[in-house]
Amino acid sequence: MKASWLGLSLLSLLAVPTWATPSDSESEEDNNLVKRWGFTNVVDPDTPSVFNGLDVPPLFQLTEENFEEATKDGTWIVKHYSPSCHHCQKAAPYYQTAYEYYYTSNPLAPSSAKSPDPKSANGFTAYFNFHFASLNCLAHGDLCSKLGVLSYPTFAFYDNGVQSDPHVGVQSIPVLSKLIEEKLESIKPGSRPPQGVKLPEVGAAGVDSTAEPDSPVAKDKDIEAGIKAGEKQNELVSQKAADEAAAKGKTDSKTKSKPPPAPANPQGISVPLTAESFQKLVTTTQDSWFIKFYAPWCGHCQAMAPNWKAMAKEMKDTLNIGEVNCEVESRLCQDARVDAFPTIYFFRGGQRVEYTGLRGLGDLLSYTNKAIGVGSSIEDVDAHTFKELEETEEVLFLYFYDQATTSEDFKAMERLTLSLVGHARIVKTSSAALADRFKISTWPRLLVVREGRPNYYNALAPKDMRDFRQVLSWMQTVWLPILPELTASNAREIMEGKFVVLGILSRRRSDDFKQSRRELKEAAFEWMDKQIQLFRLERSELRDAKQLRIEEADDRDDQRALRAAKNMRITIREDDKKAVGFAWVDGDFWERWLRTTYGIDVENGDRVIINDDDNRRYWDTASSGAPIMASRTSILETIPLVISSPPKLSPKSTVGTIETFFFFTRSFLNAHPILFFILLGLTVAVAAIFGRGRLLRRGVGRGGILGNSNNGGGFFHLDGKEGLLNGGSTGKVD
């Protein structure tokens, strides 16, 4: 299994599932919509509604199959949205109410006071040949990408299948109505009331269309032209009705639109996949799949099987679940680079990300719920929405863009959404208020916000913003919270490659627990501020040194030295500096592991250690010899003594003497392989020389290898004719 020493220790204990709680920030408007339509703004209602006493059919849903055929005739306003988009959820009731209002409105007023049947030729839809529709970009990402939809929600008009006038982020009925009124006026000039229209409240079941508008609009419209247009329409009704009656018999023979695609995982099972079905269902589609690669003999796979089956059942109609038997499909597993069992991947649109969390039912469901909530595009936020997100999210990546940001830049960022599942959330913005808050002066720009503190991704060139691996590598260094809780699933990520200030706390002492966490977090903030100051100081010193070289070369009139000085790049390498991280662990839950590894019992009070997992050592005492306490002063005084080279405080080992020897040997081999083999060769050579010397000394005492010192025998005897083997006293050879 691929697990660190800490991960193996923690995984041996019971994992506690994480339970999600619903948001408390539900608006009154949302509650009204739930009562009336029975949905929560995530998708459009699929049942008819009633407005002004007239039946209104469900909003037309566009798909890849019916889009071209539906929009090729007339004018369409289409809402492009993602169910996971916060702004889309807010815009849903506005759009639904506007649709109901216009669908039941009287397009012939004031020439006709009576509202016509919406389905008749004098109804709003037929009169203007104007239609409302929605397009779910989470389900039909390829189509939205083809249409150039980069943000949600986007409202666009389609005139005979050609897109025009896209608008992003319409968040009220008046704004939406203004766009529609301008479009209707362009279709039939003079047909719309010059003072505007009386609009309904969000979620209302009707409105007095003859009443004066709340905010009259002065427009240059010809009332007489509108009346004449209405009269002309009446003249065309009879002819159109006759044409429709003649064509009625032919409609049944027309090809019907293809049904919408079937929901994911309709049976609620984990589908066994072969190489062929994997290629057909996963690799070449945009569908999301959560797949485990296993071996029947693997004990961990067998232990996980019940939870995997239960998770697949919970994901019915939501997410495709699959499994691959690597004993049968060895080539497929080899291509997927599966080298341990079980290995779990989340696939979408040809991309994949490995799931490395715990395998309890709660852990699997928590991950899959987050994974399906990630849309194909990044949510667009304003300053108010971002403030709300900061209250619920510990880590937020924020991407700033402007009018000059290219589609290539957006696509580079959208590739990151899958890798961030289970770690952090990324949103984008063009808000001037947020740009002012974070002092953004160049676009595009990427930063991470943790506890209100920004950390910026430094892109030296535009191509660095599109370098997927480089951006993701930076994200991986900052996607943990300032003070994360150490668990079995994140132990390796937190502990490896850095010094970790680990607070061992007890939840049973509520006041002490809150105070200790606060002290640890404040210590982390102060340490980060100190590192930023040291970085700026070092950079300033390097700049001063460069400027000094330029001035010296200029004084000597040494053009070669001057060019070399000007071409010097100021680079501060952080690779050789081991970072310092902060975390805390539940001392009650991990009591046995903490006692056996660090010899600490949380019953004696909250404690702090500084752990160096790479070298299997830790420090639990300050320079005074007293234990490190959960206080800023004690922590910040001890850190410099620990991270200095060599450490000024004596460490303790987390492993035994024999394991320490083998660990030191392995670490030395990894760090200095050439020197290791040189020392190994010298050791073997010295051992060989010493051993040969002992053999030679033993040979001389016996008279040689074949002879005897007492009878004059030896390897060669040159005095007589004995030859090579005739070294005996008899002078004969048998």
List of residues 6+ apart from 192 with CB closer than 8 A = 181, 184, 185, 219, 221, 226
**Contact, 22 vs 31, CB < 8 A?**
no
List Cα–Cα distances, 673 to 227, 652, 667, 678, in angstroms. 92, 26, 10, 9
Task: Map 687-721 to HEC letters.
Answer: HHHHHHHHHHHHHHHHCCCCCCCCCCCCCCCCCCC
DSSP one-letter string for 354-395: EE-S--SHHHHHHHHHHHHT--SSPEE--HHHHHHHHHH-SE
Structure tokens belonging to residue 534: 């040291």
Splitting the chain (734 residues) into consecutive groups of 10 residues, what average pLDDT does each group show? 44 37 38 38 72 89 90 90 83 89 81 70 85 90 84 87 76 85 81 81 84 60 47 52 54 48 83 90 87 93 93 91 93 90 88 86 86 72 92 91 88 85 88 93 92 88 85 90 88 89 91 92 92 86 89 90 85 72 92 89 89 90 91 93 90 71 63 76 82 68 47 47 44 43
Q: What 8-state DSSP symbol labels residue 164?
A: E
For residue 440, the tally of other CB atoms under 10 A from its CB is 20
Within 146-245, strands assigned E span: 154-159, 162-168
Q: For residue 200, what are the contacts with CB-CB under 8 A and spacing of at least 6?
A: 51, 97, 100, 101, 173, 206, 207
pTM beyond 0.85: the answer is: no
Mutual angle of helices 173-187 and 86-103, in 10-degree steps: 50
How far apart (Å, rounded) are the C-alpha atoms in residues 136 and 140?
6
Q: How far is CA 150 from the centre of its chain?
A: 18
Residues 6+ positions from 723 with CB-CB distance below 8 Å: 717
3-state SS class at 583: strand
User: What is d(CA 535, CA 529) in angstroms, rounded to the nearest whole number?
Assistant: 10
- The pairing of strands 343-348 and 351-355 is antiparallel
DSSP single-letter state for residue 198: P
Whole-number Å distance between alpha carbons of 329 and 326? 5
State the CB neighbour count (10 A cutoff) for residue 597: 17
Residue 526's pLDDT is 93
First-to-last alpha carbon distance for the chain, in angstroms, is 68
Q: Rounded to whole angstroms, how far apart are CA atoms 313 and 344?
A: 17
Supply 269's token pair: 């099972």
Closest CA to 170 of 101, 231, 270, 81: 81
At residue 450, the pLDDT reads 92
Neighbours of 448 (CB within 10 A): 20
Place of tokens 């909530």: 373
Alpha-carbon distance of 613 to 610, in angstroms, equals 10
Give the Cβ contact number of residue 681 at 10 Å: 10
Work out the angle at residue 374's Cα, subtended by the Cα atoms of residues 369 and 375, and round it to the nearest 5 degrees: 135
- What pLDDT score was predicted for residue 126? 85
User: Residue 598: phi, psi to the nearest 5?
Assistant: -115, -5
| For residue 444, cis peptide bond before it (omega within 30 degrees of 0) | yes
H runs (alpha helix) in 130-172 = 141-146
What's residue 367's pLDDT?
86
Question: How far apart are the C-alpha atoms of 598 and 655, rounded to whole Å?
Answer: 10
Would you give the distance in Å from CA 310 to the centre of its chain? 25
Q: Provide the 3-class DSSP secondary structure of residue 629.
A: coil
Q: What is the pLDDT of residue 575?
A: 57
Helices (H), 138-222: 141-146, 173-187
DSSP secondary-structure letter at 407? H
- The DSSP letter of residue 158 is E
Beta bridge pairs of residue 76: 131, 158
